[in-house]
Amino acid sequence: MKTLRDALLEYPPQMLRAIADMNALQLPEGGSRDQWADFLSNELARADIAQQAWQSLGEAERGIIERMRQNDGRIKAFQLLRDHGEIRPFGVVALARDKPWLSPANSVESLWYRGLIQRAFDVGGAYRGEVFFIPQEILAHWPRAGAGEVHFAIKTVPAPQAILDDDDAAVWDMFTFLSFVVREEPVSADGDMLRPDDLLTLHAQFLVKDDFQDKRAASAAPRLSFIQRIARTARLVKSNDGRGLRAGLRATDWLRAPRHQQRMQLVEAWQRERLWNELAHVPTLRLEETGWKNDPRLARNVVWAQLAHCPTGAWISTASFVAAIKKADPDFQRPDGDYERWHIRDQATGRLLTGFSQWQNVEGALISYILHFPLRWLGVVNVSAKMDEQAEFSITEFGARALGRSAVNPPQPRAAKVIAQANFEVLVPLDAPLNARFQLERMAERVRWPADPRVGDATAAAAGHDRTDDWLPQARVA
């Protein structure tokens, strides 16, 4: 980033005189532009002058400074001008004649004509463009925000009457998907996702179900596609030369891992996944393909990062969380600030949702969806059953561990052996490890299988399978 002197050297003498006037400084008589820039850069960097400038600022100006301070003393130019007001354009003649610094139109102009913010070109992440920055020579002399001051302000609320708690259902449904793949070796519909008939079979066995009316909608069902995409990204399944799906390279390791690691690997796969797009699943939105494309990871990243500022165990208003992100990082998924290019319509009315004025309907709805669906599916948060203005969420024990807010791993289920009986039926206790269950799925037929394997024992018939004899010695014989 430019130094204060470098920034001042780009100004015409009229602007340098404005900065001097606003800081009650007397420019050297007869000095050149470069001499004036040198003089001002030295004076504005003095501790007493910088502190005097700080004291002269109003609440609005200090609010801008604090916002910039939270981002290394800079802000994207379009964000500052959009949120706090434009700097009116003046040529050198009009600047000398009208003296706009004597009656600034807004807080941005007030800071600009004091020389307390400067403009530069910057590259940061996905953004390449103009920024405003506070020169470090000045910022170093300003008081820091008070210790413990909270910038990401959310609202805690009483617990809702009805709660959706998926816990580790994603692990069990992923296990069901893997078992189906090794048992049926299904052919995918398009080289990627399963055929509708197979999806209906899986859907009937999943603990967390989608809401669709017929099998034609199964391929677009959010959670069915979510499990399939996460399985691929985590390398738990793979395509077999276009002939269908098979167990992937990481499947065995995942099945043998402790439960908290199994859950964390699914979270990490979701964070990396590019093709499953939350924006396309927000029920109030309809996306039109007109050449634009969003990166779903950008929205996940900002939600994940801001969850780290939230208290664990407390119930939090979803609306307040959305509002806090809008204040802290409104352009998280459109870093260039272009709110006109994406063609997104309101699902109910067909109205085109363009412009920053539609942020709540697009970005706000997306944040709410990420909280109440994928993060709930992964067991990171519990949510209220109603997703409306009163919607709320709470970070779970596992969520606190995944977010780095706790060093304590959730309890690991006790690993019981399956029990081989004299009739070659195999009793699968409630707490049998997933790897043992998976081996049975490959070589046995289900006899009695509970709808929720987390709450009941199961029985499989192992007779008549060639591979059974190699595996049954590992089981306990009744």
State yes or no: pLDDT of 369 exceeds 80.
yes
The tokens describing 227, both together, are 């499990």
156 domain-assigned: no
Which has more confidence, 2 or 270?
Answer: 270
State yes or no: pLDDT of 349 exceeds 80.
yes
Average pLDDT value over all residues in the chain: 86
Domain count, the chain: 3
Closest CA to 478 of 399, 425, 431: 425
Confidence class of residue 447 from pLDDT cuts 50, 70 and 90? low
The tokens describing 269, both together, are 């796969």
Distance CA 310, CA 328 (A): 14
Which has more confidence, 75 or 429?
Answer: 75
State yes or no: pLDDT of 342 exceeds 80.
yes
Same domain membership, residue 129 and residue 177: no
Going by DSSP bridges, is the β-strand pair 74-76/127-133 parallel, antiparallel, or unpaired? antiparallel
State yes or no: pLDDT of 473 exceeds 70.
no
Same domain membership, residue 378 and residue 282: yes
Same domain membership, residue 295 and residue 387: yes
365 domain-assigned: yes
Same domain membership, residue 351 and residue 376: yes
Same domain membership, residue 424 and residue 374: no
Confidence (pLDDT) at 191: 56
Q: Which domain holds residue 443?
A: 419-477
The tokens describing 137, both together, are 């020579």
Q: Where is the domain boundary, 107, 139, 171?
A: 139
Q: What is the DSSP letter of 188?
A: B
One-letter amino acid at 310 equals C
Same domain membership, residue 130 and residue 37: yes
Is the Cα dihedral 332, 365, 358, 283 positive or negative?
positive
Query: Quick check: helix, strand or coil at residue 341?
Result: coil
Distance CA 367, CA 8 (A): 41
% of the chain residues with pLDDT over 70: 86
Same domain membership, residue 432 and residue 391: no
Confidence (pLDDT) at 466: 44
Q: What is the DSSP letter of 168?
A: T
**262 vs 246, 253, 349, 378, CA distance in Å?**
19, 9, 42, 11
21 domain-assigned: yes
Going by DSSP bridges, is the β-strand pair 476-477/419-420 parallel, antiparallel, or unpaired? parallel
Confidence class of residue 463 from pLDDT cuts 50, 70 and 90? very low
Confidence (pLDDT) at 352: 95
Same domain membership, residue 172 and residue 130: no
> Does the pTM of the predicted model rise above 0.85?
no
The tokens describing 170, both together, are 């994603």
**249-308 tens-digit pLDDT:** 899 999 999 999 999 999 999 999 999 999 999 999 999 988 899 999 999 999 999 999
144 domain-assigned: no
Same domain membership, residue 191 and residue 306: yes
Could you tell me which residues are beta bridge partners of residue 124? 127
Q: What is the mean pLDDT of residues 325-352?
A: 92
**212-252 tens-digit pLDDT:** 777 778 888 999 999 999 999 999 998 877 667 888 889 99
Tokens 């610094």 correspond to 101
State yes or no: pLDDT of 378 exceeds 90.
yes
State yes or no: pLDDT of 472 exceeds 80.
no
Tokens 């395509």 correspond to 239
Query: Quick check: helix, strand or coil at residue 407?
Result: coil
Same domain membership, residue 115 and residue 75: yes
Query: Quick check: helix, strand or coil at residue 459?
Result: strand
Distance CA 21, CA 321 (A): 43
78 domain-assigned: yes
Same domain membership, residue 395 and residue 276: yes
Confidence (pLDDT) at 357: 93
State yes or no: pLDDT of 439 exceeds 90.
no
Query: Quick check: helix, strand or coil at residue 300?
Result: helix
Going by DSSP bridges, is the β-strand pair 315-317/156-157 parallel, antiparallel, or unpaired? antiparallel
Distance CA 114, CA 19 (A): 5
State yes or no: pLDDT of 149 exceeds 50.
no
